[in-house]
Amino acid sequence: MTTEVKVPDLPESVADATLVNWHKKVGDYVEAGENLVDLETDKVVLDLPSPVGGILKAIKQEDGSTVTGGDVVAIIEAAEKPAADAAPANTEAAPPTAAPTAAKAESGDKNASPAARKMAVENQVNVADVAGSGRGGRVTKADMKQHIAGGGSRHEERVAMTRLRKRIAERLLEAQHSTAMLTTFNEVNMKPIMDLRKKYQDQFVAKNDIKLGFMSFFVKAAVAALKEWPAVNASIDGDDIIYHNYQDIGIAVSSPRGLVVPILRNAETLGFADIEAGIRDFAVKAKNTTLSIEEMTGGTFTITNGGTFGSMMSTPILNPPQSAILGMHNIVDRPVVENGEIVIRPMMYLALSYDHRIIDGREAVGFLVSIKNAIEDPARLLLGV
């Protein structure tokens, strides 16, 4: 008996998906629930698990194919799992002869895409000798091209944008073309929260099993500032302005496929430990490309931290339909004046990009000042003042 492997129904916000990186090839045995191929959408990469255990009899859609919900991508033939010492099942007759170079190219190819394996055979390359850049070290077609071209020689390569990268590009252009974007800056003395973290870090870790970072302070400060300046937490819908009485904070996180922005829902209800745990989970999921569409949908305000890469200052671009985004940067010891004296303090530049159509300069500056005051006097976050 055979079973069709179909693309599941996609969320309403996702029209179609692209197949990337088949993890099995025809003739392989697959367990029920084992991931066959990755489905890349505009937002996330999803697994497509096998509905049954058996032999992968046919692949109907190759790497790079665009599919929609209900499309058949593979056929599984019901079969018992082969014994460990038995020859693997194969539904296709073996060719009467096999070229030695082809056999060599097939060795070690379990973690290579079908296109990469085909190139290996055609160019007499051992796949095991090729460094893979795909998920889990999978050898892609691009990896094979680069290996064949020669690691040290001059060459160029044309690679199609991933769906996520194309969507990022579209949204960035949309933000610049459809909003009256402006950026204002301020600087903040990080010494108070650095001293606070140093004093209570051990106790915080012992109680919550997670480190106290800077981001939780900025999320808490942003929540307080958004309540004080509601226009910064608003969005435009046609001729209407939508004011949100909740704070869903997007946290920009790097992933192997580009920048993603998962959402801390109802951040106004979260404590420091909850925020740190949420951000840690986002980072792990982003690295493993397991963030769900739901985790990246919505949001009323975004925080991005270029300081993790050494950025001194930047003008972050809005994440539509949000009306503002806060940019954090690296911390640098700089001379500042306090009480008429020059002292050295760990300083950070802050940048707020905002849609000038609904946020005035007074509100933007006021919002940044509120952030600055909360970070430089963290007791405000506890007292709500």
Distances (CA, A) of 210 to 253, 255, 271, 273: 18, 22, 13, 7
Peptide bond just before 321 cis, omega within 30 deg: yes
Structure tokens at 31: 């367990």
Is-contact 313 351, C-beta < 8 A? yes
Helices 114-122, 141-149: inter-axial angle, 10-degree rounding: 30
Q: What are phi and psi of 187, to 5 degrees?
A: -130, 155
CA dist., res. 19 & res. 64, Å (int) = 5
**Which residue among the candidates 9, 155, 356, 377 is catalytic per the annotation?**
356
3-state secondary structure at position 158 = coil
Task: Tell me how far apart the terminal alpha carbons of the chain are, to the nearest angstrom.
Answer: 68
Rounded to the nearest 5 percent, the helix, strand and coil shares of the chain are 35, 25, 40
360 an active-site residue? yes
CA dist., res. 271 & res. 210, Å (int) = 13
Q: What are phi and psi of 55, to 5 degrees?
A: -95, 135
3-state secondary structure at position 30 = strand
Q: What are phi and psi of 281, to 5 degrees?
A: -65, -40
DSSP one-letter string for 54-77: EEEEEESS-TT-EE-TT-EEEEEE
Residue owning tokens 């819908």: 237
CA R_g for the chain: 26
**Which residue among the candidates 9, 129, 195, 360 is catalytic per the annotation?**
360
**Sign (positive or negative) of CA dihedral 17, 19, 24, 25:** positive
Q: How far is CA 317 from the centre of its chain?
A: 17
Residue owning tokens 């952030």: 371
Q: What are phi and psi of 191, to 5 degrees?
A: -60, -45
Of the candidates 219, 221, 267, the residue with the CA atom closest to the CA atom of residue 369 = 221
Catalytic residues: 356, 360
